[in-house]
Homo-oligomer: A and B are copies of this chain.
Amino acid sequence: MYFGSDNTGPVHPAVMEALVAANTGFTGSYGADPLMDQARTQLREIFDAPEAEVFLVATGTAANCLGLACHCPPTHTIFCSPTAHIHEDECNAPEFYTSGAKLTLVGTDDKISPQALARAIEAEGNRFPHGPARGPLSLTQATERGQIYTLDEIRALTAVAKSHDLPVHMDGARFGNALVALGCTPAEMTWRAGVDVLSFGGTKNGCMGVEAVILFDPARATEFQLRRKRGAHLFSKHRYLSAQMVAYLADDLWLTTAKQANDNMARLADGLRKFPGVTFDYEPAVNMAFLTIPSPLAKRLKAEGTAFNIMQGSPDTDDAVTIRLVTDWSIAPTEIDRFLALAAG
């Protein structure tokens, strides 16, 4: 059973069909294809943001870093969670794309609190020019530990940022998962809540490899395009990025796959919760769970071929280990049940 990541699963059939369907004849390259116009229109509608600029790239890291670079001079610092993907899993890509901005880790928790943010911003405030100037806030929604910020929480955080004139970036690699969990609109979770630029994830939620960067303030569009090209992220056969995104958005497919992934995790979590010695480090809100399980259980699951990451500890030397489980849309509920039965031993 594959619970290692939501990027080890397949592409949704509708997305693959769209790729095949797009594969006829000739069309403009580098983004000048009609499917891109369609994707842009769809996203503007979905976000109720008719002026937003939309660009596609192939990786979440590229989306994050190009979006951030347009909102963060090299002499500035980005405020983020210590668990943020941009800090832990991008191999200095943000530092690279911003030409040397720093990342200021806010607090010690997965979710940033407004108080911790205010303190971090103030701490960076008084030392011009010796310390970096204050740059954007970057929020991950849903977080890298599978939690979500409520709308009130997002607004409270963006309010702190705005009180210092700082832009706000949202890493939405699992945007769909968070949205269906919150049950609000895309606009409510982003620009209406103070977000300026969004990495809108597709890859983890059913696509092959596509993310949209949505600049709610279109002023940065030209800079973004130059940075994207310079970062080697402008696809020549761009229609194949566009086709994925169009299919992903059509008929709310992205919401369907997100909901399926979340429901799979709820099912899995509810089952695991019953096992002795299993505790959840974070209450799973979307499709990712961090939990501590007894080492014998971990060993048995591995022996049965279940794929998951051990985040902390070793089953051979520790009594319990912390593991991460991730579900995607493609797992059938029956497979979850089968897994739980196997896990019961």
A: residues with CB less than 8 A from B are 2, 4-5, 7-11, 13, 16, 19-20, 23-30, 57-62, 65, 73-77, 88-93, 95-97, 99-103, 127-133, 203-204, 208-209, 223, 225-237, 240, 307
A75→B102 contact, CB < 8 A: no
* Distance between A338 CB and nearest chain B CB, rounded to angstroms: 15
A30 to B204, CA, bound (A): 13
Contact of A91 among B25, B92, B129, B203 (CB under 8 A): B129
A83 to B8, CA, bound (A): 41
A236 to B85, CA, bound (A): 14
Contact of A223 among B7, B29, B73, B100 (CB under 8 A): B73
A236→B95 contact, CB < 8 A: no
Closest residue of chain B to A99 (Cβ to Cβ) is B99
Task: From A13, A59, A101, name the one whose CB has the most chain B CB atoms within 10 angstroms.
Answer: A59
Which of chain B's residues have a CB closer than 8 A to the CB of A132?
Answer: 91-92, 226
A10 to B21, CA, bound (A): 11
Closest residue of chain B to A96 (Cβ to Cβ) is B100
Closest residue of chain B to A7 (Cβ to Cβ) is B236
Q: Can you list 28 A-B pairs with a CB-CB distance of less than 8 A?
A: A4-B26, A5-B29, A5-B236, A7-B30, A8-B29, A9-B26, A11-B23, A19-B19, A19-B208, A58-B58, A58-B209, A61-B232, A73-B223, A74-B96, A74-B99, A74-B227, A74-B230, A89-B127, A91-B130, A91-B229, A93-B229, A93-B231, A96-B99, A97-B232, A129-B229, A203-B236, A208-B240, A231-B232
6 additional A-B pairs beyond A7-B29, A231-B232, beta carbons within 8 Å, are A13-B23, A61-B234, A88-B131, A93-B231, A96-B100, A208-B240
A269 to B225, CA, bound (A): 35
B92→A102 contact, CB < 8 A: yes
Which of chain B's residues have a CB closer than 8 A to the CB of A102?
Answer: 92, 95, 103
B5→A25 contact, CB < 8 A: no
Closest residue of chain B to A224 (Cβ to Cβ) is B129
A235 to B130, CA, bound (A): 12
B230→A90 contact, CB < 8 A: yes
A102 to B100, CA, bound (A): 9
A307→B26 contact, CB < 8 A: yes
A7 to B41, CA, bound (A): 24
A164 to B232, CA, bound (A): 27
Top 10 A-B residue pairs of the complex, sorted by shortest distance between their CB atoms = A99-B99, A7-B236, A75-B226, A61-B232, A2-B26, A62-B232, A95-B100, A129-B229, A91-B229, A96-B100
Contact of A100 among B24, B29, B92, B129 (CB under 8 A): B92
* Distance between A239 CB and nearest chain B CB, rounded to angstroms: 9
Closest residue of chain B to A25 (Cβ to Cβ) is B10
Closest residue of chain B to A61 (Cβ to Cβ) is B232
A89→B236 contact, CB < 8 A: no
Which of chain B's residues have a CB closer than 8 A to the CB of A130?
Answer: 30, 88-91, 229
B223→A236 contact, CB < 8 A: no
A10 to B156, CA, bound (A): 48
A30 to B89, CA, bound (A): 12
* Distance between A235 CB and nearest chain B CB, rounded to angstroms: 6
Closest residue of chain B to A204 (Cβ to Cβ) is B236
